[in-house]
Structures are given as structure tokens and as C-alpha cells.
């Protein structure tokens, strides 16, 4: 099975309290770096299939099928593209790391994993137009391919009061702990990015 990927940047505008976020996983009628264009309605059949099955595409970390980081709770096409709402699994290590990286701006893209069912060539734009795709997963990634689709909101865990108490009692310890966590998360990000780059080279 030939699963392809299209990536989009993230733009975080707000932080809340439960790990939820929303935005566009794909935007219609834009030529991406792979010279592909997603046509309106391209996801309709696949989304209907997911609804019948009572499930949703996987939410993955860097397209790794062994590392789910949350759940997509809503997916729908509108006039602009594929609108998604998801919730990070903040009780897991990777889910929490994903939240911290989103908060820092270190994660910069959404990427869909799909298989082309039908497509056609647009000779004027010299691009392949995807008219029907099978959607398998949507990942948080570091390398965007197009700057149109964006996450519009991210919500943080319900721990505000606890954090305030810790800050009042031991501000220096909290600062050091945050710094240690940030360094660890960034180190893991660089490691994941290196693996992803190597995988890309191997595919080429």
C-alpha cells in the first residue's frame, strides 16, 4: 500500500485546559511542495466510511504508527478544506510532550497520511489534482509543506491551581524543572527530526 503525506504548518492562537485543539489538516486548491492539489470533496467518501465504522483516522507522532498521541474527535470538509478537532492524550508521555512542543512553537506542522484513489492532471498548474483519497492518519510533524492550513487553538491540562501553588511555594525549583523538561523535549524533537529526515532520504 502506497501511503503518501501532505504537511501543513501550525499556528497556535490560544491555550486552554484540556489538550484540545482545532484547525485545518488540508486546504483545498493549493499546490503544495509535491505539486499536488487537494480538490474539494476529496475526503468525502473516506470520512463517510469512518463515520459508518464509528472510528476516526489515527492521531500519530511523526507518522509513527506505534506512537498515538491523542484522538481526532471531529473531521469535516468545509469550503476551505479539511477541518479537524483533536484532543491530546495528556496522560501519556508523548501526548504531554506534543502539548509542550505546540506551546513552544517547536512543532510546526500537521501532516495527513493518505492513499490516492482518484486523481487527474492539471496541465495549466502542472500539478496532480487529488479528487478522492483514503485518509488513514493525521500526524503532528516538524516539517510543513504549505502555509495555509493551521491549528487555531490548543487547550492545556487542568492544573492551573496546582501550578500556582507550586510557583508560590518554590518558584526557583519550578523554573529549573521547566528548563529541564524543555531541554529534554527539544532533544527528543531533534532526534525525531533526524529519524524523519533519514526516512525521507531512504524513500528518495
Handedness of CA 103, 27, 141, 45 (dihedral sign): positive
What is Dmax (Cα atoms) for the chain?
A: 65
Report the pLDDT value the prediction gives residue 187, as an integer from 0 to 100. Answer: 54
pLDDT tens, position by position, 116-157: 999 999 999 999 999 999 999 999 887 655 555 456 556 544
Task: Please report, rounded to a whole number, the percentage of residues in the chain having pLDDT higher than 90.
Answer: 41
pLDDT tens, position by position, 33-47: 788 999 999 999 999
How far CA 192 is from CA of 31, 51, 187, 196, in Å, comes to: 27, 32, 9, 6
Helix (H) or strand (E) holding 59: strand 58-61
Between 69 and 177, the more confident residue is 69
**Long-range Cβ contact pairs of 48-54 (< 8 A, separation 24 or more):** 50/75, 50/135
pLDDT tens, position by position, 92-118: 999 999 988 888 877 777 889 999 999
The domain spans of the chain are 4-159
Mean of the per-residue pLDDT values for the chain?
A: 76
Amino acid at each position: 500500500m502506497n501511503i503518501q503525506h501532505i504537511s501543513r504548518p501550525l499556528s497556535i492562537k490560544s491555550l486552554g485546559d484540556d489538550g484540545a485543539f482545532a484547525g485545518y489538516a488540508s486546504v483545498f486548491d493549493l499546490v503544495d511542495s509535491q505539486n499536488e492539489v487537494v480538490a474539494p470533496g476529496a475526503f468525502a467518501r473516506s470520512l463517510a466510511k469512518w463515520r459508518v465504522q464509528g472510528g476516526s483516522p489515527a492521531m500519530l507522532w511523526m507518522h509513527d504508527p506505534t506512537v498515538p498521541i491523542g484522538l481526532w474527535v471531529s473531521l469535516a470538509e468545509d469550503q476551505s478544506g479539511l477541518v479537524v478537532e483533536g484532543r491530546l492524550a495528556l496522560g501519556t508521555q508523548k501526548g504531554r510532550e506534543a502539548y509542550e512542543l505546540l506551546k513552544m512553537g517547536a512543532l510546526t506542522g500537521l501532516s495527513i497520511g493518505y492513499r490516492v484513489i482518484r486523481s487527474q492532471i492539471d496541465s495549466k498548474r502542472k500539478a496532480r489534482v487529488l479528487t478522492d483519497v483514503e485518509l488513514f492518519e493525521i500526524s503532528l510533524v516538524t516539517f510543513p509543506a504549505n502555509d495555509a492550513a493551521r491549528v487555531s487553538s490548543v487547550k492545556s491540562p487542568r492544573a492551573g491551581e496546582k501550578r500556582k501553588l507550586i510557583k508560590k511555594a518554590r518558584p526557583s525549583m519550578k523554573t529549573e524543572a521547566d528548563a529541564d523538561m524543555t531541554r529534554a523535549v527539544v532533544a527528543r524533537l531533534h532526534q525525531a527530526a533526524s529519524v524523519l529526515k533519514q526516512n525521507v532520504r531512504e524513500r528518495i
